[in-house]
Every structure is written in structure tokens, then in C-alpha cells.
């Protein structure tokens, strides 16, 4: 089974609309979860991470994600999309069963329409 599944390789929203990027993971123990963003011709930049504690995690640029153990999900949201949010977003997980190495999803390209 795939370790990290991102539903939707492309998501398109209007400027000002809600952004929802979905991520589901498979792990037998609570993992550590990350969202990264990649702007064109750049490397990946950390948006936010969940390790322990509060399940709602706030990141940079107004993004947040909620760890839901029962749903094995870590969806990324932003209340109001901005043109500058157009990028590719990667969900990633690390857990002992992965040798504590980071495993990435296939990415979701977010397009923001004016």
C-alpha cells in the first residue's frame, strides 16, 4: 500500500476561495507528518509539521492542517487563496516502519484563478 496518498494531482480554486489539499497516510503507529511547498524552479520549503500534541497545526502563509488519527488524514487548508499560493504541495510522513526516513506523496499542483 502506498505510504502517502494525495488525492488530486491538480486542484484549481478562485482567488479568495477555500483551499483544501487532501493527504492520507498509512502507518501502524502515529507518524510525524509534514507539508512542503515547491514554487517553480525552487526546492521544497516546509509549510508546517505535526509531531505530537495539538492536532491542529498552523504553518506559514496562513496554511494549517489537522491530524485525524481515526481517518489517517492530514489535510491542508487555507481559508482564502491568494495568487501567490500557486505552487506544488507535497505531503510527507516519517515513522519507524519507514526507517524514520521521510516518504513523500506525489504532490498536488494548486492553481489559483483570478
Partner 1 sequence: EADIYQTPRYLVIGTGKKITLECSQTMGHDKMYWYQQDPGMELHLIHYSYGVNSTEKGDLSSESTVSRIRTEHFPLTLESARPSHTSQYLCASSPKDRENSPLHFGNGTRLTVT
Instruction: Please give the residue ranges that form the binding site for partner 1 (CB under 8 A).
Output: 4, 9, 32, 34, 36, 41-46, 49, 51, 90, 94, 100-107
Q: Given the C-alpha cell 489537522, which residue does it identify?
A: 66
CA distance 51 to 42: 26
| Run of H or E residues at 45 | strand 44-50
Shortest distance in whole angstroms from residue 114 CB to partner 1: 25
Q: How near is the Cβ of 15 to partner 1 at its closest, in Å? A: 25
CA 41 to centroid of chain Cα atoms: 19
Comparing CB distances to partner 1, the nearer of 59 and 62 is 59
Tell me the closest approach of the beta carbon of residue 2 to partner 1, in angstroms: 8
Amino acid at each position: 500500500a502506498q505510504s502517502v496518498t494525495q488525492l488530486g494531482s491538480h486542484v484549481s480554486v478562485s482567488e479568495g476561495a477555500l483551499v483544501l489539499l487532501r493527504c492520507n497516510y498509512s502507518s501502524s503507529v502515529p507518524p510525524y507528518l509534514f507539508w512542503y511547498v515547491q514554487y517553480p524552479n525552487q526546492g521544497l520549503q516546509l509549510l508546517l509539521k505535526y509531531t505530537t500534541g495539538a492536532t491542529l497545526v498552523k504553518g506559514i502563509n496562513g496554511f494549517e492542517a489537522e491530524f485525524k488519527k481515526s481517518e489517517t488524514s492530514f489535510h491542508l487548508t487555507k481559508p482564502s487563496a491568494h495568487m501567490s499560493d500557486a505552487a506544488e504541495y507535497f505531503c510527507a510522513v516519517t515513522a519507524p516502519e519507514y526507517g524514520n526516513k521521510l516518504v513523500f506523496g506525489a504532490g498536488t499542483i494548486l492553481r489559483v484563478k483570478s
